[in-house]
């Protein structure tokens, strides 16, 4: 009988909390933050996630079992850059356990797994693959400079008409950038504001 090898995934952290950003902001969700990232955003707030070798390896069944100890209905797979890993086994196990699977990704690696919601947040440091953008349910642009508004408009043309569009101020410049985003949204109502609410209410 063939023995199926279980994929081990490097996990920086995992926790049950409130989704703080984007379309599902305010909803309870279990976050699995996979380690490893080759995008390298200078303003990244989880740089500890970049080196996968610094973090423990988890079996998929152990992660799912931990999630099931909570009332979570949604699991958000994030990073790092989660698509550096094959997510087929993890998402299949989560779906089999009756959970909805969401991902937050830069889109710089091929999409894998069974996903109910795909949030693509493109980065200038390593641009997304063109075939991922039409599959996005949510496009979230982190605004760091004024030039990012035109960059956002360029990506808005690459997603489907049903994709939700969000502009989010980079946290270190939130006071400076948020008023600019508000004015942009007033002129371009297809966009919505995403704020990192979890940082205001002090949850992970």
With cut-offs at 50, 70 and 90, classify the pLDDT of residue 47: confident
pLDDT for position 2 = 43
pLDDT of residue 4: 53
8-200 placed in CATH 3.20.20.70: yes
* pLDDT value at 114 more than 90: yes
Contacts of 44 (CB under 8 A, 6+ apart): 37, 50
Which of helix, strand or coil describes residue 172? helix
Q: Return the number of other C-beta atoms located less than 10 Å from residue 145's C-beta.
A: 12
Predicted confidence at residue 177, as pLDDT, reads 98
**What residues are paired with 104 via a beta bridge?**
119
C-alpha–C-alpha distance, residues 163 and 135, integer Å: 9
Spatial contact of 174 and 43, defined as CB atoms under 8 Å apart: no
Q: Which of 40 and 66 is assigned the larger pLDDT? A: 66
> What pLDDT was estimated at residue 5?
58
Region 103-108: what's the mean pLDDT? 97
Nearest alpha-carbon partner for 109 in 95, 94, 92, 122: 122
The token pair that represents 99 in the structure block: 């959970």
* Residue 202 burial (10 A CB sphere; 0-12, 13-18, 19+): exposed
Quick one: DSSP state of residue 133? Answer: G
pLDDT in tens, 50-64: 899 999 999 999 999
Q: Domain coordinates of the chain in residue numbers?
A: 8-200
């Amino acid at each position: 009988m063939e023995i199926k090898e279980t994929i081990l995934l490097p996990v920086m952290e995992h926790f049950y909390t409130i989704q703080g950003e984007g379309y599902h902001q305010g909803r309870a969700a279990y976050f699995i933050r996979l380690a490893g990232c080759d995008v390298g955003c200078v303003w990244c707030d989880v740089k500890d996630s970049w080196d996968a070798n610094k973090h423990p390896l988890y079996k998929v069944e152990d992660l799912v079992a931990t999630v099931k100890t909570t009332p979570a209905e949604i699991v958000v797979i994030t990073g790092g850059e989660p698509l550096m890993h094959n997510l087929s086994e993890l998402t299949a196990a989560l779906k089999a356990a009756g959970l909805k699977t969401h991902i937050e990704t830069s889109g710089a690696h091929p999409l894998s797994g069974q996903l109910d919601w795909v949030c693509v947040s493109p980065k200038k440091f390593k641009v997304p693959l063109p075939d991922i953008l039409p599959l996005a349910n949510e496009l979230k642009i982190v605004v760091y400079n004024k030039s990012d508004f035109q960059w956002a408009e360029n990506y808005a043309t690459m997603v489907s008409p049903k994709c939700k569009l969000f502009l989010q101020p980079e946290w270190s410049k939130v006071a400076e950038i948020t008023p600019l985003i508000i004015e942009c949204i007033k002129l371009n109502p297809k966009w919505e504001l995403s704020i990192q609410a979890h940082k205001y209410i002090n949850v992970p």
